[in-house]
Amino acid sequence: MLSDGAIQGRSSMKNNQALFTIEEAMKAFLIHQKANYTPRTYENRAWSMGKLRRFLNKKKIVSLDQLTPAILLEYEREKSAFFKPLKPENTEASSLTLHTDTTNVRRFLIYLHDCRFTFEDLSRHVTPRRARGRLAKPLSPKVIEEWFSLCDLSTPTGLRDRAFFELLYGCGLRPGEALALELTDLDLATNRLLVRDSKNGEARTVPVTRTSSHFLKRYLNEARFWLPKSPLTEKYLWLTDRGTQLSLYSVQSRLRKYYRPKLSCGTPVTLHRLRHSCATHLIKGGASVRHVQELLGHRSINSTQTYTKMVIPDLQAAIRQFHPRRAALRR
């Protein structure tokens, strides 16, 4: 039998459900997210809340007591239909978008229950789907070498591209982390750089490989020196030929225009695959998962251990070739 205090607590939560609107709860949730997470994470979750808000408005659902498991299930179905890829090659992106959006909605529902906005923990009815193909296959060293060799080192932009690609592959940086670097973050005397704009909001120091250091020095001395600058952008490491800060859109546009079409292998190359390739090649070469975790800036080692799955086929092949028990049993 419930005590008077428990009954009163449940009654209070039920009253909250009727008193507070979903719009008010979402605003409180986003204020909490903005105060405790990075701007990138906040924007991602605000985007999901906007999509959920449009769906609920369409269904004329205003108060929290109208938010039921059935409504959440309907949202998931409608969302899946909305994100159904039009082209087969978009399957991975669509799957990842669905996974991320569902995770964000689930965080919102957990927040509602933890803050006593809702009586029932509605997050139990929302399960993020596993994102198919979330981790792209690494590029082979041969493909990477062919890609990088396409950079025209006789031009400032070509030399800049080569230095940028080398940094992504050599240090395992996320494209956004590399683009946010400032000149003061780079110390080529000790071959180290400081990553401040990281996904998890924690700064980390990353060693720079000799090859990356070589092309960074060439970029600074032979290319960046001649690029136009402005007081607003001169502090940034990567500049365009117009003197503005290099953007992700600009790099991706150049990748599509100048590099992908010329690759003889036909392998789809992306900036982020350089990070995957760096991690996988390090683990294949014998680096510890803990060291790779530090390099990549993963908060949880579980994220890094995903890369070990990429080397399982190689391990199986090695066992078949070298293990004393590799031969089949003979009677």
Written as one letter, the residue type at 8 is Q
275 an active-site residue? yes
Q: 265 with 143: CB under 8 angstroms?
A: yes
In a 13 Å sphere around the CA of 153, the CA atoms on its Cβ side amount to: 13
* Given 174, 224, 273, 276, the catalytic residue: 174
CB atoms within 10 A of CB 328: 5
Q: What is the CA radius of gyration of the chain?
A: 25
174 catalytic? Reply is yes
The question of whether 32 is a catalytic residue gets the answer: no
The one catalytic residue in 199, 218, 229, 284 is 199
* β-strand partners of 58: none
Q: What is the DSSP letter of 275?
A: H
What's the sign of the alpha-carbon dihedral 290, 206, 151, 215? negative
Which of 27, 272, 290, 326 is an active site residue?
272
Residue indicated by tokens 């906005």 = 117
> Mind giving me the DSSP string for 75-106?
HHHHHHHHT--SSGGGHHHHHHHHHHHHHHHH
291 is catalytic: no
Contact 178, 167 (CB under 8 A): yes
Say which residues have a Cβ less than 8 Å from residue 296's Cβ, sequence separation at least 6: 172, 275, 279, 303, 304
What is the set of active-site residues?
174, 199, 272, 275, 298, 307
